Amino acid sequence: MYYFIGIKGSGMASLATILSDLGYQVEGSDIEKHFFTEEGLLQRNIKINKYDESNIKEGLTIVKGASIKEDNIELIKARKLNLEILEYNEMVGKLTDMFKTICICGCHGKTTTTTMLEQGLGSILKMNYLIGDGTGYANKENKFFALESCEYQRHFLKYNPYYTIITNVDLDHVDYYKDLEDIKDAYSEFANKTKKMVIACGDDQNTRDLKINKDIIYYGINDNNDVIAKNILYKDNGTSFDVVINNKLYYHYDLPIYGLHQVLDFLSVVTVSYLENIKGNILQENLANFTGAKRRFHITKINNNIIIDDYAHHPNEVKATINSVKQKYPDKKIVVIFQPHTFSRTKAFYKDFIEIFKKADYTYLLDIFPARERQEDYPDITSKIICEKLENSDIINISDAKILSKYDNTCFVFMSPNDISKLEDDLKELLKNKE
C-alpha cells in the first residue's frame, strides 16, 4: 500500500488518484480542514486519516508531501520502522518512465496549460494526467501522460520527459534559487533530458537564453517563432486568432480564453497537436467550452457582481489575471483581495505588486501565508510593506466580508495559492442577500 503523508496537497492528491486508478492500494493523512483537492480522493473512496502514528505499519510505502516536516509523528514512526519513504517528485518520476510523458514546466501557466492539453487532446492521444489543482487520472492502457512539472528545489529533474513544454522562465522560489541564472540552469538541465522535442515560448527572452541541445520548436506572437498566433482579437467572450505554423495557416481559433498569457499557453498545446499529426479543428471542438482549471480564473456571477477565484501569487501572474479581468469586464470596478505567499517572495517582489495593484480600483491585503517559512526569519516583512505604499488599499482579515459587500457592480478578484474560501464564501452570501 502507498500511504500519503499530506495527501490533500495539490500535487499529492492528484498523484494519489492516479495510483488508485492504476490499481494500487492508496491511503493517506492530513489535517482535518477541507480543501478543494479532496474531491478526487473522495470519489475514489481513498481513506483520509488524521495524523496518528498508529496509522503507520509494516509493509507500507510512504509518499511524503513537500510541506511535511521531519517532526511529523507519522514520518517519525515510518523512519523507526525503516519503511521506504519516497518524496512526491520521486514517486512521480517513476510514473514518467511508464508513459510518453509531456512535462509542462514554467514559472507561470503550468496548470492552465496542462488542463488545456488534457481537455483538448486527452481523448485523442489516450492521455493520463496529473494537474496541480488536485486533479489526476490514469489508465494502464494509455500511452501519454500530461504532467504539471514544478521547478521548486529542482524537483522536476526526477522526471523523464518525452515532450517538454516550457511556458516561461522567471525568478521565483527565491528561498531556494540564488538568482535568475540559477533557475535558468535548472530549466536547461531539465530540457536536456527530453527524448522527443522541447516546445518553448519564444517570446520569453529568459526561455530563449536557455542552453538546450535538444530539438526545439518555439511558439509565440513574434515572427521569429515556428508556431505563431496572428490576427489576435480580444473580445468580452474570449479571444480569436489564427495559428500559423512554418508560414502556413494551421487553423483559425475562437475560444473562451482571456489575455495574451492564455493564448500563449494554448499555442504550446497546438504545437503538440501539430507534432502528433492531429487536425487543427480538434482543439477548437474540444476547447470550445473551456472553463479553465480549478482556482484559475474561476468565475461566479451574483446579481451585477463578479467573483473571480485565482491562484495567482507571483507578480507576473497577478498582472496577467488583472489584465484578463479588464478584458472581460471593462465596465466594472475592480476590487482585488490578495494574500501574499511566503515572506521571501513578498520581500523580493513587493515593489512589483505595488505597481500592478495600481490598476485596481481598490486592493485589500490579507496577512502573508508563510507556507514553509517563519515570520521570525523575516521580522520586517508583512503585508503592510505593500499597503503603506499603495493608495486605495487596506489590510483585511478572513472574517471581514462585510467590508467588501459595500461595493456594487464590481469584479472581486481573489488571488492566493492558499485556500481563502471562507472570506470568498461569506462575501457570496452577503451579495446574494443584498437588497
Give pLDDT, residue 370: 87
Total-model pTM: 0.77
Domains of the chain in start order, with CATH, are: 2-87 (3.40.50.720), 97-286 (3.40.1190.10), 298-432 (3.90.190.20)
Cell digits of residue 136: 489526476
Residue 292 CA to residue 294 CA, distance in Å, equals: 7
Looking at 145-159, 309-323, 375-389, which range is the least confident one? 309-323
User: Which of the listed ranges 29-38, 58-67, 291-300 does the model predict with the highest average pLDDT?
Assistant: 58-67
pLDDT tens digit sequence for 178-199: 899 999 999 999 999 999 999 9
| pLDDT-derived band at 292, boundaries 50, 70, 90 | low
Q: Are 300 and 292 in contact (CB under 8 A)?
A: no
* Range in 98-112, 138-152, 210-224, 285-299 with the lowest mean pLDDT: 285-299
Q: What is the pLDDT of residue 293?
A: 60
Percent of the residues in the chain that have a pLDDT greater than 90, as a whole number: 69
Which residues neighbour 75 within 8 Å (Cβ) at sequence distance 6 or greater? 5, 62, 64, 68, 69, 85
C-alpha to C-alpha distance for 226 and 285, rounded to whole angstroms: 24
Instruction: Of 70, 66, 104, give the one whose Cα is nearest residue 87.
Output: 66
Q: What is the CA radius of gyration of the chain?
A: 22
| Mean of the per-residue pLDDT values of the chain | 92
pLDDT in tens, 384-416: 999 998 999 999 998 888 999 999 999 999 988
What does each C-alpha distance from 59 to 29, 131, 167 come to in angstroms? 17, 29, 40
Q: What is the Cα–Cα distance from 332 to 315, expressed in whole angstroms?
A: 22
- 261 burial level (CB within 10 Å; 0-12, 13-18, 19+): buried
pLDDT in tens, 305-345: 999 888 777 888 888 889 888 888 889 999 999 999 889 98
